[in-house]
Structure 1
Amino acid sequence: MTSTRQLSVAGDDLLSAADHGRICALAVRLERDLHLVGSSHEDLFSGRPFDSGLFSSIAMSIAFTAPEYTAEQLRLTTRTLLWVFAADWQIDYLAQAADDVRKIAADCLAVADGAPPSDGHPLARMLAEIRDELAVAPAFATLRSAWRDELQRMFAAVAREWEWKSARAAAAPDALAAPTLDEYLGNSDNLACSLVNVSLWIYAGDQDCLDHLADLMVASREVQRVLRLVNDLATYRRDLQWGDLNALMLVDDPAEVTDRLAALIEGCHEIIRPLETTCPRQARYLKRQIAFTSGFYQVSDFWGSL
């Protein structure tokens, strides 16, 4: 005979399965949109790492982190995250010199300021589409500078990491010293998590979110540092193969990275706690961002193979 407690657990399991099913359906809708974007920007997404798994992973990461939104509300966010992966590829793996990195940044920041994309610059062209869609949001008129600031922070951080990587590869006597772990974490804007977050909050955030955007951005940057280390702990072998920097390359004892991660997660929850009162939906979003990424990297990675 089945006990009442067993029935309750079964009911909870079914409810959870139904909820996961709805979120997966949301991810499917987002993924289909990403494939449309990819097909219209083949010059950006023709490299092998841009496989179907990457598109699926992006869609799932946003759907499971922001399940309270509709596909229409999240479409801009998934497109922005896909653009971030394209920017990472263009700078980390295709740029041959520091001037290439500066040119990419200058062209994209000009687009952020309202200029049309230059001919032959696919990354700027896609960013212009994102900018124009984001401009439809009423909040964009007053918060455009916040979006542009995150974009500039991202490009400054990726340029700095490009210099670190180039110096490490050259191993020249006058090469830049490897960053310390603190310097590396201080450069976590290259992950562009906060760019993705501010895009969502401007495009689909409620008034509580918009009223507390500055506090949310402080919390977002702390979450970004957590995601940097979660990513690094899971992708060390791939980073060695691709010539990327990784936190584990900067310390003598891997425990230093895991201990720092634990401290950062604890600190994030302290920063997020007040937001649970002022903007609870976004506080949940930030906590889910940590939880989803931590679970995802236990099994897989976003990128396909080179």
Structure 2
Amino acid sequence: MSSFDIGRTCALAVAGGRDLARTAARYDGLFPETSFDSGLYSSLALAGAFGSPWATVAQLRAINRASLLVFAVDRLIDEEATSQEEVAALVGECLAAGRGAAPASAAAAFVSDLRAELAAPFELEAAWLDQLARTLGAMAREWDWNRPDHAPGMEEYLANADSTGAFFIGLTHWIHTGVAESPGDLDRLRPAGDVVQRYLRLLNDLATRHREAGFGDLNAFTLGMSPGEAHERICALAGEAAELIEPLHAAHPRAAEYLTWQLHYSAGFYGLSDFWAPEAA
């Protein structure tokens, strides 16, 4: 990127971060300041902007807000839910709102508003809702795995990487910006997106393992993986993802660039930080 391009992309991120702060203020209690500080909004907006530097401020609203939704629901499940019934109720409220029902909670209202922002045709809205269900279902499954005697095997854990929300966020963006024009386009992008999700799952676990140890959260390391094994698996997943991304450049160049950026940007970002506010650590 040239200096001009970097400056423009940073301006996109500034606008995006401000939009996220204004958006969060509309949902009472959903974004407590102890977890959602200005740095988190800026971090999400930077990720969105540098992932698609060709986009406009308006085109980045959906990806930024989808990212924020993932963080909001993840916090509710990890920090506030005390039973399977509470988790199931939250998931049900969000999915109902995604189908057009009146929102029953602040999180559901956010889903409803994101659906309206997306303004997708029926077949793509159905694909979006399906991925939202996969993401929320994976989050709920991880909550269950945190209970005694419910821990999964390592491969089962990695296969549940929809819990990161990464493919949901990318899918939202591709629908909103017209990169994906049909469910078939999303099907072609899914194999690479799934591998990138597993890569990001391990990368996040590696970066946040000391913080999560204090909470007793489930991750690759509580399941027995060593840092050395994680590095080896991360490198293998990066190679696998690159192979799957390569043929996408012809028909879906922007999606391919986005997925490639996810691999490299995330490695650099998690090398120094992560998204949550220090008070949440």
**Where do 5+ consecutive residues of structure 2 fail to align?**
none
Distance in 2 of aligned mates of 1:291 and 1:157? 25
Counterpart in the other structure of 2:275: 302
Report if aligned partners of 1:50, 1:303 keep a CA contact under 8 Å in 2: yes
Report if aligned partners of 1:230, 1:294 keep a CA contact under 8 Å in 2: yes
**Where do 5+ consecutive residues of structure 1 fail to align?**
1-14, 168-174
Report if aligned partners of 2:124, 2:183 keep a CA contact under 8 Å in 1: no
Distance in 1 of aligned mates of 2:223 and 2:264? 25
More deviation, 83-92/239-248: 239-248
Task: Give CA-to-partner distance per residue, 1:198-250, whole Å, 9 cap, x none.
Answer: 11111112367876221112211111111111111111111112322121222
More deviation, 285-294/203-212: 203-212
Report if aligned partners of 2:13, 2:42 keep a CA contact under 8 Å in 1: yes
Task: Give CA-to-partner distance per residue, 1:7-56, whole Å, 9 cap, x none.
Answer: xxxxxxxx733221111111001111101101111310125111111101
- How many percent identity over aligned positions? 42
Matched residue type, 1:132: A
Matched residue type, 1:253: S
Report if aligned partners of 1:201, 1:210 keep a CA contact under 8 Å in 2: no
Distance in 1 of aligned mates of 2:39 and 2:28? 16
Counterpart in the other structure of 1:166: 147
Distance in 2 of aligned mates of 1:62 and 1:113? 26
Counterpart in the other structure of 1:122: 106
Counterpart in the other structure of 1:205: 178
Report if aligned partners of 1:202, 1:210 keep a CA contact under 8 Å in 2: no
Counterpart in the other structure of 1:171: none
TM-score of the superposed pair, with normalisation by structure 1: 0.87
1:257 counterpart (215, 226, 230): 230
5 Å-filtered alignment, 1:55-94, equals 55-94=41-80
Matched residue type, 1:66: S
Counterpart in the other structure of 2:266: 293
Larger Rg: 1
- Shift of residue 129 of structure 1? 0.6
5 Å-filtered alignment, 1:1-306, equals 16-118=2-104, 121-135=105-119, 137=120, 140-167=121-148, 175-176=149-150, 178-206=151-179, 212-251=185-224, 253-304=226-277, 305-306=279-280
| Count of matched residue pairs | 279
Distance in 1 of aligned mates of 2:182 and 2:193? 13
CA separation of 1:199 and 1:252: change in aligned 2, threshold 3 A: closer
Report if aligned partners of 2:135, 2:163 keep a CA contact under 8 Å in 1: yes
TM-score of the superposed pair, with normalisation by structure 2: 0.95
Distance in 1 of aligned mates of 2:165 and 2:80? 19
CA separation of 1:115 and 1:154: change in aligned 2, threshold 3 A: same
How big is the alpha-carbon RMSD for the aligned residues of Structure 1 and Structure 2?
A: 1.6
Matched residue type, 1:262: C
Report if aligned partners of 1:81, 1:196 keep a CA contact under 8 Å in 2: yes
Report if aligned partners of 1:58, 1:302 keep a CA contact under 8 Å in 2: yes
Report if aligned partners of 1:98, 1:163 keep a CA contact under 8 Å in 2: yes
Task: Give CA-to-partner distance per residue, 1:51-103, whole Å, 9 cap, x none.
Answer: 11110100001111111111100101101110110000111110011100000
Matched residue type, 1:117: P
Matched residue type, 1:191: T
Instruction: Look up the SS of the partner of 1:146 in the other structure.
Output: helix
> Runs of 4+ in structure 1 displaced over 3 angstroms?
206-211
Counterpart in the other structure of 1:4: none
Distance in 2 of aligned mates of 1:252 and 1:212? 35
